[in-house]
């Protein structure tokens, strides 16, 4: 990550909190999670990484749910990266779930997304058993987890009512997304236009697509990029977004290393432009605004999942 000034303590905490996974900055020690999950390593699918942890908010009524999708460039990371600030939602009556998903290069797009979508469907399948409200589910994450949250949130419902697998009959729709360092597209051509070629050459993208840089300019690749971009699916009935960024604003330097800019605020600015046109709430914040993203994200979830209670 190319940063023009030393990261603040807050930015460092958030990088740890959400495992941004840029591969260019040393990750600080994670803040430990003190509360043990009510369900640990629950299998939502057949692969060894298709597991989730669930913290249930204490309530006599079904509770909303926030799903944490970890970052790590689609090739690293873990649900154990969840942190104490997010679990403060339990005190508000919102349950929290953290998931793992399969990695590149073992799998390529759209497998990472579909694993995460299946985890949401699995939670809905068990909503009554787990005291969850299936109509109030939000998602959060950093970097790859943020991009995945946006993709699922904007995509048309992927429920398949006739599927033999009862989990896949459930809805994938979300009520809101609060994300950090989010990429609203993984199209290297668009990323080059918005931010610069260094960001487009992030090494994780080749594994994500199963393509090399010299294969990017074919019609088949461009169609793949279009389908993998969250912003492709944006429509007026989509949920609200809160997006926070800490990477330096402005153009990338001429000597930027491959991957620099992959958490650039331009991803959020371009997303907000499109969401504003559709009349959908989109809040984009940056570390230089002295924001408190952990608190703002939790407030955002309270507003959209509990009606601001």
Q: Where are the domains of the chain?
A: 9-306
- Architecture label for domain 9-306: 3-Layer(aba) Sandwich (3.40)
Q: What is the pLDDT of residues 146-157, one digit of tens each?
A: 999 999 999 999
pTM for the model stands at 0.90
Average pLDDT (110-124) is: 98
Q: What is the pLDDT of residues 149-187, one digit of tens each?
A: 999 999 999 999 999 999 999 999 999 999 999 999 999
Q: What is the pLDDT of residues 68-112, one digit of tens each?
A: 999 999 999 999 999 899 999 999 999 999 999 999 999 999 999
The secondary element (H helix, E strand) that includes residue 54 is strand 51-55
Give all strands (DSSP E) within 160-303, no chain letters: 176-180, 240-245, 282-286
Mean pLDDT of the chain: 90
What's the pLDDT score for residue 34? 59
Contact 231, 277 (CB under 8 A): no
Buried b (16+ CB within 10 A) or exposed e, 106-126: ebbbbbbbbbbbbbbbbbbbb
Average pLDDT (239-268) is: 97
Q: Cα 265 from chain centroid?
A: 15
Say whether pLDDT at 20 is over 60: no
């Amino acid at each position: 990550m190319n940063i023009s000034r030393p990261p603040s303590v807050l930015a460092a905490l958030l990088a740890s909190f959400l495992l941004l996974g840029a591969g260019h900055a040393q990750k600080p020690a994670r803040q430990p999670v003190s509360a043990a999950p009510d369900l640990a390593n629950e299998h939502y699918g057949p692969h060894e990484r298709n597991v989730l942890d669930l913290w249930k908010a204490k309530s006599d009524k079904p509770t909303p749910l926030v799903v944490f999708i970890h970052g790590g460039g689609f090739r690293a990371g873990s649900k154990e990266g969840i942190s104490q600030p997010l679990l403060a939602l339990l005190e508000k009556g919102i349950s929290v779930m953290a998931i793992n998903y399969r990695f590149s290069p073992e799998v390529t797009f759209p497998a990472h997304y579909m694993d995460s979508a299946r985890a949401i469907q699995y939670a809905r399948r068990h909503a009554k058993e787990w005291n969850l409200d299936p109509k109030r589910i939000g998602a959060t994450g950093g970097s790859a987890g943020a991009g995945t949250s946006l993709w699922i949130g904007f995509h048309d419902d992927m429920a398949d009512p006739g599927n033999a697998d009862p989990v896949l009959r459930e809805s994938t729709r979300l009520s809101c997304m609060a994300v950090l360092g989010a990429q609203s597209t993984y199209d290297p051509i668009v990323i080059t236009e918005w931010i610069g070629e260094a960001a487009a050459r992030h090494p994780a993208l080749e594994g994500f697509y199963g393509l090399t840089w010299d294969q990017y300019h074919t019609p088949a690749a461009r169609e793949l990029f279009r389908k993998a971009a969250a912003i492709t699916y944006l429509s007026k009935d989509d949920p609200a977004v809160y997006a926070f960024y800490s990477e330096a604003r402005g153009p990338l330097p001429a000597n930027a290393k491959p991957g620099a800019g992959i958490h650039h605020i331009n991803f959020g600015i371009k997303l907000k432009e499109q969401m504003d046109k559709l009349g959908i709430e989109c809040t984009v914040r940056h570390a230089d605004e002295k924001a408190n993203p952990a608190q703002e994200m939790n407030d955002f979830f309270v507003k959209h999942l509990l009606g601001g209670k």
